[in-house]
Amino acid sequence: MYPLSGTATNVPLMITPDGIRVSSKTVTEEFQLLTNPGKNRVLISDSVGNGTWVTPTNICVNDTDWFFNKLRNLYTKAPYVGIGTISPQSHLHVVDGNILVSLSAADTIGNHKGNVLFGEVIDATCPLGEWGIRYKSNQDSYLSGGLNFWKVPTDFSSGVDNCLFLQNDGKVSIGGNNPRGKLEVIMNEQDNLLYGIILNQLSDSVRTNEIRFDEKGTEKWAVGNRYWGDTLNAFFIWNETRKISSVFIEEVSGRVGIENHFPKAKLDVNGSFKASSIGIGIDPPVGQTWKLYVEGGIMAREIKVTVNAFPDYVFSPTYSLLSVGELEQYIKSNKHLPGIPSAEEIAKNEGIELGAMQAKLLEKVEEQALYIIELQKQINEMKETLQMLKEGRP
């Protein structure tokens, strides 16, 4: 150790009346300053370098960039702040690190803590900005928690919760916080909207606007609208496997094609179809057994009707054919042929059954054939009798 006094400037350690002066770096494992000691205090210096211990709440230190006031607020006038970098490229630039925002256990869900807030002008009317992002937990299920994008209440508008909610399990909700699918859109009176999702195609070169459905990356179905030059503008349900629209609805005419891109009628089906009942020009009655109802005429080249039994039984030897007298008496009494419905019955039943009527008419034709055959026999007998009389034969 050097003497207590002296003027040498190259000595590493000097003891002077003002204290101990170290002219180079001091390295020590422990340090104790007894001036104003206390727990959890910090060491500060005055303008000439004198140090003392102070309580952090009493600190009011500033330099040209940073300010730390008695309210424990740290702020800066520097335009850019870098954490982990000496060349920040934005107002806050973090390199190889994270920004963590969380709630303490004592904070309740729904308060204004634990948010990242956004606003244009922050004043008394919008003290917390306009929008916020915060994490919402669910004590019952971790997967039900998630990131909530919400509208902050201001003097001009009420707050809206769950504008967009990203749930922990990857599901997304718009307007709610419990999505049942990968994406769920919830609408209510507060929204006052007609449309939940709008696809608006603005391109002049892409002539379709659709939603596609894939299976393991391979397209299977698509639904949307198209306005290409090959057909009229239309809405479609596309079947990629069959390479054709299963349903094709023209925009202007409203004509519908089933696997048909050029429908010529209100419904143009390329193939067959099945229905429980069909009405043409009329609503099919409910609870009836008939399958086709037509208001108006039917024009066809051929109509085929199947029936359970055809009346060949008329030609059976055991068939009971009325005599001509019995037939005459029946007609006089009933004003219609036996087995044929009367006009009153047809009106009551609102028509006739075509297949059954055709069978009945054929039955009458076959009965007429038997009457004709019998009549011809009588005529032949009369001819033979007349011939015998002419010839004078007994």
In a domain, 386, yes or no: yes
Residues 9-33 have a mean pLDDT of 72
CB 233 within 8 A of CB 252: yes
* Domain span holding position 212: 208-269
My answer on whether 386 and 317 are in the same domain is yes
**3 state SS of 140:** coil
In a domain, 178, yes or no: yes
In a domain, 363, yes or no: yes
My answer on whether 255 and 313 are in the same domain is no
In a domain, 379, yes or no: yes
The answer to whether residue 59 scores a pLDDT higher than 60 is: no
In a domain, 81, yes or no: no
**pLDDT tens digits, residue range 178-196?**
999 999 999 988 888 899 9
**pLDDT tens digits, residue range 350-377?**
888 888 888 899 999 999 999 999 999 9
Work out how many domains the chain is built from and give that number.
Answer: 3
My answer on whether 105 and 170 are in the same domain is yes
**C-alpha to C-alpha distances, 31 to 16, 26, 28, 43, 49, nearest whole angstrom:** 20, 11, 7, 12, 17
Indicate the residue among 119, 153, 185 that finishes a domain.
185
My answer on whether 312 and 371 are in the same domain is yes
CB 137 within 8 A of CB 145: yes
My answer on whether 319 and 264 are in the same domain is no
In a domain, 281, yes or no: no
Residues 234-260 have a mean pLDDT of 95
CB 222 within 8 A of CB 242: no
The answer to which of 49-58, 101-110, 299-308 has the lowest mean pLDDT is: 101-110
My answer on whether 180 and 104 are in the same domain is yes
Mean pLDDT taken over the chain: 85
In a domain, 301, yes or no: no
CA distance linking residue 114 with residue 111, whole number of Å: 8
The answer to whether residue 102 scores a pLDDT higher than 90 is: no
Q: How high is the pLDDT of residue 142?
A: 64
My answer on whether 313 and 353 are in the same domain is yes
**pLDDT tens digits, residue range 319-341?**
999 999 999 999 999 999 998 99
My answer on whether 213 and 175 are in the same domain is no
CA distance linking residue 368 with residue 347, whole number of Å: 27
Phi and psi at residue 87, to the nearest 5°: -130, 65
My answer on whether 181 and 218 are in the same domain is no
In a domain, 323, yes or no: yes
CA distance linking residue 126 with residue 152, whole number of Å: 9
My answer on whether 166 and 235 are in the same domain is no
